[in-house]
A = this chain, B = another copy of it.
Amino acid sequence: MTYTLSSINSQEGGGLAQVPKDRQQRSVPRPRLNRETVLRAGVELADQVGIEGFTMRTLSQELGVVPMALYKHVANKQELLEGMVDLVWNEVTEPDAGRGWKQGVRDRSVSLRDALIRHRWAVGLMEAAGRPGPENLRQHNAMLGCLRQGGFSFRTTVHVMSLLDAYVYGFALQQKTLSFETPEESAASAAATHDAESAETAARYPYLLEVVAELAKEGYDYDAEFTVGLDLLLDGVEALRGSWRSA
């Protein structure tokens, strides 16, 4: 989770203002930039600062280079982000059709969700407008193949993939916004938020208050939550194998 970026940071970012420019240049024998290095550094930076802090200028600074240098390796910021997203897709394990469609699809859904948690900035970009990258294509192809080989009709296969991905994306989206780390912090934060408004709020939103109080006591486990919902979905999907619209 903590890559090499922080060390680069303390070397360059910290001392950058003090060190003369040509000195700074030579002190870190920076390897020649290429597309791959730029994309990987982009992922690292976005992981650390989030999408709103991610700029061409900060990225170039991390790489010890002037902002314009990046444009030799990526067309523009949009295309850079697309490349970064495909790097995230590359981290997702393909479904293994040999283990059966259900296990294969389950594994890949968990893997996708894990990747989205590691790279919280990516959720809104995974299915974004631009041309899908090769890893994206490979991944979706494998998913479709797993379901087709599992005996799902063509039409149902498309439905199921859309349904499962919607759940994974949506869950990651919900979890992304919750910035606290542990369930305990989560509960405490929720309680604190609403306690401040106290009496009036309690009267207006009784069910909400019940939840906050209860969660404050017991905590909330997102990981367990996700897999329970996923299995519910998979069971539902299994029931319609061969029965959804045109079989």
* Contact across chains for A166 and B229 when beta carbons are under 8 A apart: yes
In this complex, the interface size class of chain A, counting residues with CB under 8 Å from chain B, is 35 or more
When all copies of this chain in the complex are counted, the total is: 2
A7 within 8 A of B: no
* Contact across chains for B159 and A228 when beta carbons are under 8 A apart: yes
A240 within 8 A of B: yes
B residues in contact with A225, CB < 8 Å: 159, 162
Q: Once bound together, how far apart are the Cα atoms of A207 and B233, in whole Å?
A: 23
B residues in contact with A140, CB < 8 Å: 205, 208
A195 within 8 A of B: no
Indicate with 1 or 0, residue by residue over A231-247, a CB within 8 angstroms of chain B CB atoms.
01101110010001000
A179 within 8 A of B: yes
Given the known interface contacts A166-B173, A168-B170, the answer about A144 and B232 at a Cβ–Cβ threshold of 8 Å is: no
Indicate with 1 or 0, residue by residue over A87-126, a CB within 8 angstroms of chain B CB atoms.
0000000000000000000000000000000000001100
Chain A 188-225 residues near chain B, CB threshold 8 A = 193, 201, 204-208, 210-211, 214-215, 220, 225
Chain A 153-190 residues near chain B, CB threshold 8 A = 154-155, 157-159, 162-163, 165-171, 173-174, 177, 179
* Contact across chains for B138 and A205 when beta carbons are under 8 A apart: yes
A127 within 8 A of B: yes
* Contact across chains for A169 and B162 when beta carbons are under 8 A apart: no
Indicate with 1 or 0, residue by residue over A50-75, a CB within 8 angstroms of chain B CB atoms.
00000000000000000000000000
A52 to B: closest C-beta gap in Å: 10
Q: Which of B141, B166, B173, B211 contacts A158, CB < 8 Å?
A: B211
* Contact across chains for B124 and A124 when beta carbons are under 8 A apart: yes
Q: Which of B144, B159, B173, B211 contacts A124, CB < 8 Å?
A: B173
| New contact pairs (10) apart from A145-B206, A159-B229, CB-CB < 8 Å | A128-B177, A129-B177, A138-B204, A141-B205, A141-B207, A162-B171, A166-B170, A168-B170, A169-B173, A232-B236
B residues in contact with A155, CB < 8 Å: 214
Chain A 5-55 residues near chain B, CB threshold 8 A = none
Q: Which of B124, B142, B163, B179 contacts A232, CB < 8 Å?
A: B163
A17 to B: closest C-beta gap in Å: 28
A5 to B: closest C-beta gap in Å: 23
